[in-house]
A and B are shown apart, each in its own frame.
Chain A
């Protein structure tokens, strides 16, 4: 995959978008900049109203930036209407034309491009085969299931061979099982076609599963861009840490800083080495973040990084969640994967220690 990613497909440069004017003005995007590489699966992740769909609609050409510019393969696309951009979109509710059959929906965009009939017919068959929907070619879109509609929407969007495919929360209307299947299917399609996918979602699991890189957005800004592991294991800001998965926040004091790492003093006085975001030099009181699965419960509190009383033990099938009330008054969650050979058994009220994995701690910017 890495060797295929070499140049920028889309460059978003200092883009802002303001809706309305005067007192009712609302800034949907606030000086956003991002480079999306050719052939990558890039995800815009954030809660509702964070501006991710606005950014996607700008790339598609449905709305225009108030400031800044968007370049597609080096070309400023501000003046180009949607159909002149080598970009296609899969909409949240699929936007299939209900008065047309599956085949007609896929062919429609090609017909509008005045492609020869033989080419259209061959392309429709090819797309139907790609999404495994050949047997439903003559069905009306209202007569197929949500998952099948999703596949047709993908086939229709891929038919004109766009360089970039925009996907606006396309899995949100599907049930859990179908969503999981479609996640794999989407990744397969992206790999097979080699098209740049820009995927918008508020579902962190979806983003982590499929993406080559993720941009986490909040309040019209991009807070962090990175691979799934970077985003999950090394969140730079509190919002990113909170939004992606469960996280423990601990107050700590910075002792020393060197080589992109900091020695911090945790509640209880233990020192640990914590990672730092690039170029960040902390001092004084900071917040340290660790994931629950990057820590372990030990029966003997002596020598552990943290100490406290076990306040709850919850079995959730694949894992057991332990919540420890630390002596400092903070609460700390530890997640242990279950196996047939269980380790030491713990009960609520036990005094326990928490040991952090090496490199588990990260200092937040806030």
Chain B
């Protein structure tokens, strides 16, 4: 009995250790590579080198860092705020307002989760081309604003929002939009924080769609720039890793700042 329990515990630790290694190793390798030259990296060197400063200088020489970060921040923050406002309104509406068509419309929204982005790419590109939005940041943001997943997430979270709070607000004379902004949003702030982390990460790391619609260097985001460095004829992997570190920092920052709210949001805002 004792032996089998110890064996089970050992297996658990082995599995968790492997999972931890697989999660942490890419970060470790990214940091190590950022301090080495391209030749060292290709040679498989796994210890810190002395080329960090050179790689940083080369990256800042090759890339207009402030512009690229401004582009990425603008797109990620605006798209995240719009996505959260629109999708939370939809999630709230789907849960709070009863109608015969509600569940059918909601099912249709959820069905869109099953359509791969590859199938939408060409029609979306044609729409953007026809509306003259190609090579603009609006073209990146528009398709992400109504997110079926975030609508689903908010509807599920809204189920825990006490209807008595809504009734109490109605007694106080609040209109539905006031209830949403003055009561629902503050009460559900953990849900919003969790959604913010998820949507911000998705938008910051968005690669394929910006690659298709952004054509000039002035509009490109950090993911596209790092990717273009990696696909150069003689890629300098040390410089690429500096770009990767810089591209990772904002998402790490957002996650750690909102970590507590994120966990609360995942567990449910309303206790």
Contact status A95-B173, CB under 8 Å: no
Number of interface residues of A (CB under 8 A): 21
On whether A112 and B165 interact (CB within 8 A), knowing A97-B183, A97-B187, A99-B187, the answer reads: no
Contact status A95-B168, CB under 8 Å: yes
Task: List residues of chain A with CB under 8 Å of any chain B CB.
Answer: 60-62, 81-83, 87-89, 91-95, 97-99, 108-109, 112-113
Q: Within 8 Å CB of A89, what residues of B?
A: 167-168, 171
Q: Across the two chains, which residue of chain B brings its CB closest to A109?
A: B172
Minimal beta-carbon separation of B161 from chain A (angstroms): 11
B186 within 8 A of A: yes
Contact status B162-A112, CB under 8 Å: no
Which of A61, A94, A97 has the most chain B CB atoms closer than 10 A to its own CB? A97
Q: Within 8 Å CB of A99, what residues of B?
A: 186-187, 189
B170 within 8 A of A: yes
A94 to B162: give the CA distance in the assembly, Å. Answer: 10
A286 to B165: give the CA distance in the assembly, Å. Answer: 49
B56 within 8 A of A: no
Q: Within 8 Å CB of A91, what residues of B?
A: 164, 167-168
Task: How many A-B residue pairs have C-beta atoms within 8 angstroms? Tell me.
Answer: 49
Contact of B173 among A83, A87, A93, A98 (CB under 8 A): A83
Q: Across the two chains, which residue of chain A brings its CB closest to B166?
A: A95
On whether A83 and B172 interact (CB within 8 A), knowing A93-B162, A97-B187, the answer reads: yes
A361 to B162: give the CA distance in the assembly, Å. Answer: 47
Contact status A81-B170, CB under 8 Å: yes
B85 within 8 A of A: no
Minimal beta-carbon separation of B183 from chain A (angstroms): 6
**Could you tell me the dominant secondary structure of chain B's interface residues?**
helix
A64 to B165: give the CA distance in the assembly, Å. Answer: 19
Contact of A62 among B167, B172, B183, B186 (CB under 8 A): B167
Contact status A82-B167, CB under 8 Å: yes
Q: Across the two chains, which residue of chain A brings its CB closest to B172?
A: A109
Q: Within 8 Å CB of B173, what residues of A?
A: 83, 109, 112-113
Interface residues in B201-241 (C-beta closer than 8 Å to A): none
Q: Within 8 Å CB of A95, what residues of B?
A: 162, 164-165, 167-168
Other than the known A62-B170, A97-B186, what 5 A-B pairs have Cβ atoms closer than 8 Å? A83-B170, A93-B164, A97-B187, A98-B187, A108-B172
Number of interface residues of B (CB under 8 A): 15
Q: Within 8 Å CB of A62, what residues of B?
A: 167, 170
Q: Across the two chains, which residue of chain B brings its CB closest to A168?
A: B164
A77 to B172: give the CA distance in the assembly, Å. Answer: 17
A interface footprint on B124-166 (CB within 8 Å = 1, 0 otherwise): 0000000000000000000000000000000000000010110
Q: Within 8 Å CB of B187, what residues of A?
A: 97-99
Q: Across the two chains, which residue of chain B brings its CB closest to A162?
A: B171
Minimal beta-carbon separation of A40 from chain B (angstroms): 22
Q: Within 8 Å CB of A61, what residues of B?
A: 170
Q: Within 8 Å CB of A112, what residues of B?
A: 172-174
Contact of B171 among A60, A92, A94 (CB under 8 A): A60
Contact of A109 among B171, B186, B189 (CB under 8 A): B171
A138 to B122: give the CA distance in the assembly, Å. Answer: 57
A interface footprint on B158-198 (CB within 8 Å = 1, 0 otherwise): 00001011011111111000000001001101000000000
Which of B162, B169, B171 has the most chain A CB atoms closer than 10 A to its own CB? B171
Contact status B164-A82, CB under 8 Å: no
Q: Within 8 Å CB of B186, what residues of A?
A: 97, 99
A298 to B167: give the CA distance in the assembly, Å. Answer: 57
A60 to B173: give the CA distance in the assembly, Å. Answer: 13
Q: List 20 A-B contacts (CB under 8 A).
A: A60-B167, A61-B170, A62-B167, A82-B171, A83-B174, A89-B167, A89-B171, A91-B164, A91-B168, A92-B164, A93-B164, A94-B164, A95-B165, A97-B187, A98-B187, A99-B186, A99-B187, A109-B172, A112-B172, A112-B174
